[in-house]
Structures are given as C-alpha cells and as structure tokens.
Amino acid sequence: MDWNSRRATAILENALIEDRATQDATTYACIEPRQQASAIIAAKQDCVLAGVGCIPRIFEVFAALDGTVTTVPEVRSHPEIFDGVRLHKGQSIAAIRHNARVILSCERVILNMLQHMSGIATQTRKFVDAVAGTSTKVLDTRKTVPGFRMLDKYAVRCGGGTNHRNDLSDGVLIKNNHIELAGGITAALERAYRNRRGSQTIQIEVRSMAELEEALAHGAEALLLDNMTVEMVRDAVARVRRESRHISTEASGGITLENVRAYAETGVDFVSVGALTHSAKAADMNLRVHPI
C-alpha cells in the first residue's frame, strides 16, 4: 500500500478536513503549544492488523494542512508488527513521540482508519481460514464505503483475501439487470463479445442449470453462480469441468461463515462475499497519551 500516492493522500486529507483537525478547539484551549508527548496505540481485542502505514502519513498530511508544525513525528513499531499480522488483545501497535497538540488532533482519524481497515482484515481472515485446505479463493466485491474502496480492498488483501474488480472498468461482468436489458443471456453475450475492450474476460451471472447451459453454449469465459445452493453449485462445477476449455466458477449470494466451507468443498474456484467490506465490525483499539 503506497500511503504517499495521490489517492491515499486525498483520502487522509479529506478525513482530517472533515474532522477540522487543524481547528481542534479543545486541544487549543487545554494544551500548551510546545508540550511534547508520547503515545501508544494498542489492540483491545484479537484482530488482524491493516493500515499501520497510515500513522506517520497522517501526521505528515496534517502538517501540510496546518502550516505551522515544524517537528517531525517519531513513530515506531516492533519488527513483528506489520499489515496482515494477527494481534492479541493488549498488544502494542505503534509508539509515537510528537507534539502533544498534533497527536490529539490526529488521534480520531488515526484510530478510525486503523479500526475500520483492521475490522475488514479480521473478517476476511475468518473466511480465508474457513476454506483453508481447499482450492477456493475468497473474493471481495464493490460493496465498499464510498471513497474508501482502495483502503477497503487493501484491507481484504491484508486478511488473505483476493480482490475482484476494483471498479466498473476492470472487466466485464454481466449480471441479471444487464441480461434483462440486453434481451437474455445469448443476446448479452453476443453483444459483449462484439463490444469488449481488448482481451477482458467475459463473466456472466447464471441462477439455474438451464441458464448455465445457455451461457456455456454461447462461449461464456467465466461463470458467476448466483444464489445457488451448495448442491446446485456442486452440480454446476461438475458440469463446467466437462468442457474442454477452462471456465472459472464463482459462487455468490448468501455465503456466510457457517456455510462457506461447504461451498468451497464443491470445488468452485472462488466465493465472493460482500460482507467482507459492507458488514465488517471495526476492530477495537485505543491511543493513550502521556506527557514528556
């Protein structure tokens, strides 16, 4: 994750502006301008870490917005602390030495980023662990917080998951509404082959064995098995494997921690889970400050 990229910088900048971090009324009123402080960020629960690199970058972006900060923050983490590592309750994530006012003004944005991203990584790791030993990979979806997709999808990778499409330009995925408007599976596939850009793989959603047969007959290159039962997915995978060409299969819809293993054991290539990003509970962390 490149926290210095323009997109990441814009996200952090917007978060600090939203919080009016450079206009922190309470800190301005209570804390002396030259007061120095140390702070520890720690996990309050077992979780998977994501976003640790945002900590020093947030201070840098704050300094650029504020225009008066001249000191450089000291942010240290143990070598064993990195994105994707499993944290235990009470474990320290980072130690900070900096101007006290700056630490307090950036505190909420730092914690919001770490907790949100670590929550997604933790949720993803649970699904990845649940399918361990199978050949199935866990995919995310585009069900992400608006404006945060880059961070959400990075957090999925920290949890061991795999990113699906990053945006609408990233591949052809023909879903039920496209099929309805195009006039059916056959018509949608024929138009997609005529109009696709470059060599993008064409994936199409099917919801029954009849739709699967129609898609295969008209050259589908990848199949999204939508809202099928485990038994239906098993039959679909077996049918696809009789084809002479490789066609990837993805199960989607209604997949939970309780049933994801059963889906994986059908031999499906991928399971996509919107809950990785749209329903992940933020990890619990805190930041404690002490004067120097």
Q: Are 107 and 265 in contact (CB under 8 A)?
A: no
Active site includes 108? yes
Residue 20 among the catalytic residues: no
Query: Which one is catalytic: 44, 97, 143, 234?
Result: 143
CB 122 within 8 A of CB 154: no
Catalytic annotation present for 175:
yes
Which residue among 13, 60, 97, 108 is the active-site one?
Answer: 108
Of 44, 126, 175, 234, the catalytic one is: 175
What DSSP assignment string belongs to the chain? Answer: --TTSHHHHHHHHHHHHHTTGGG-HHHHHHS-TT-EEEEEEEESS-EE---TTHHHHHHHHHHHHHS---SPPEEE--TT--TTPEEPTT-EEEEEEEEHHHHHHHHHHHHHHHHHHHHHHHHHHHHHHHTTTSS-EEE--S---TT-HHHHHHHHHHTT-B---SSTTSSEEE-HHHHHHHTSHHHHHHHHHHH--TT--EEEEE-SHHHHHHHHHTT-SEEEEET--HHHHHHHHHHHTTSSS--EEEEESS--TTTHHHHHTTT-SEEE-THHHHSPPPPPEEEEEEE-
- Is residue 205 annotated as part of the catalytic site, yes or no? yes
Cα diameter, the chain = 73
Catalytic residue among 24, 107, 140, 226: 226
Is 137 designated active site?
Answer: no
Among candidate residues 24, 140, 152, 205, the one labeled active-site is 205
Strand 92-99 relative to strand 172-174: parallel, antiparallel, unpaired? Answer: unpaired
Active-site positions read: 108, 143, 175, 205, 226
